[in-house]
Amino acid sequence: MAKGKKVVPESHQALDALKYEIAAELGLPVGKSVAADANVEFATELGSIPAHSVREDYWGHIASRDTGAVGGAITSRLIRKAEEMMLNL
């Protein structure tokens, strides 16, 4: 399989939403490029950045350790969800 090719392409939106949800929970100031008038610090404290203020995906200012934590949390949640589904069969 090609690197970066999704097995289920339709999952892109759900995984993207999960990525930003976890980043907000970890207090990371991400959410695609934020418009100049947006208060990133305040939005981060609230745990979200308003959808109308986002433009394009950008994580360049986040440390590798933090992005790795987001990826690890995504993996952990997906495994937990799969285990729950298997128990309910």
pLDDT in tens, the chain (89 residues): 567 777 788 888 888 888 988 998 998 888 655 444 445 555 545 555 544 444 457 788 889 999 999 999 999 999 999 999 999 88
With tokens 């992005």, the residue in question is 67
Calpha distance 42→72 (Å, rounded): 26
pTM of the complete model:
0.63
Calpha distance 44→41 (Å, rounded): 5
